[in-house]
Copies of this chain bind each other. A is one copy, B any other.
Amino acid sequence: MGEFELLQTIYDASKNLGCSVTIGPGDDMGEIVLGGKRLLLAVDQLHVGRHVELDCAPEAIGRKAIARCFSDIAAMCGFPVCSLMTACLPTPCDDQWATRVFSSAKAHAEQWGGPIIGGDIATSDCEHAMFTVTALATPSEIGAVKRVGAQLGDLVCVTGELGNSIEGHHLTFEPRIKLAQTIQHTLGVDLHSMIDISDGLAQDAGHLASDGCSIQLDASSLPLRSGATIEAALGDGEDYELLFTCTKQPPIDDVTVIGNVVERGDSKVIDEAGNAINIRGWAHE
């Protein structure tokens, strides 16, 4: 069972939470209403040896731990508020290494507007370090942009370039927080749905499809990162770019139209000929 299915199983009975949950499990962030104010929440993990190489510089690890989670803020067009971070460190604990990870995480969390205000550190029998980051954000006045909301006839757009992130982009990307805010500010209610691409375009596009519509991608229009093939752009993970649907193309640099929202066929994500795009992408499990 994949992460998505397992989470779905767990939360299936959570419809009636008894508190003001306005966006439940299944989106990039959850949303609650507290004292009339909307608050977005997400948590993400970074495992050394899995999401970064074992010999990755500690500063790059701390940066990526924050950036991965803050990319979820971008995906909701949110504004960062603050964050929490945990570390699970192998014993014996290399304090200097851990301090470099946290110092970098702290600096980047502040730079991107969501300072770390608390945490928890434990040592364990794990072979490699693991970190979690919890992010809090607020939506714009128009509201958070959800995964659900694509409408027939929408354009499908993407920011930046796709594929071959493993060559370096996954350690240096900026969470698209400001760009997302600009897109929402420019498009207003014409912006219908959004997700950040972490598991690969083909897989994450599936989350924008619904019972009523499929996502049709024009492979020839994909903005390829240096060294990336079309297949890599469709399947590689960790682009951390924004994928969204809207009624018209926003006049913004760094945004490319790559497809359309069409009537639902047998598959969630299809190519120009209507055939299923079966590239599985990068499974988190």
Q: A98-B6, A115-B14 are in contact. Are A120 and B82 (CB under 8 A)?
A: no
Contact of A17 among B30, B110, B130 (CB under 8 A): B110
- A162: chain B residues within 8 A (beta carbon): none
A119 close to B47 (CB less than 8 A): no
- The quantity of this chain's copies bound in the complex is 2
How many A residues have CB within 8 A of the partner chain? 68
Docked Cα-Cα span, A123 to B122, in Å, equals 19
Beta-carbon contact of B93 and A42 below 8 Å = no
In the complex, the answer to whether B119 meets A7 with C-beta atoms within 8 Å is yes
**Which B residues are in CB contact (< 8 Å) with A106?**
10-11, 13-14
A29 at the interface (CB under 8 A from B): yes
Q: Mark A111-134, 1 if CB is under 8 A from B, else 0.
A: 001111111111111111010101
> Is the beta-carbon distance between B45 and A117 smaller than 8 angstroms?
no
Residues of chain B within 8 A (CB-CB) of A121 are 3, 6-7, 284-285
Q: Is the CB of A126 within 8 A of B130?
A: yes
A-B contact pairs, 26 of them (CB 8 A): A3-B120, A3-B121, A7-B121, A10-B99, A13-B106, A14-B106, A14-B116, A17-B117, A18-B115, A19-B114, A25-B117, A25-B118, A32-B82, A32-B136, A35-B37, A41-B84, A42-B84, A43-B85, A45-B88, A47-B122, A86-B132, A123-B285, A124-B126, A124-B130, A125-B128, A132-B132
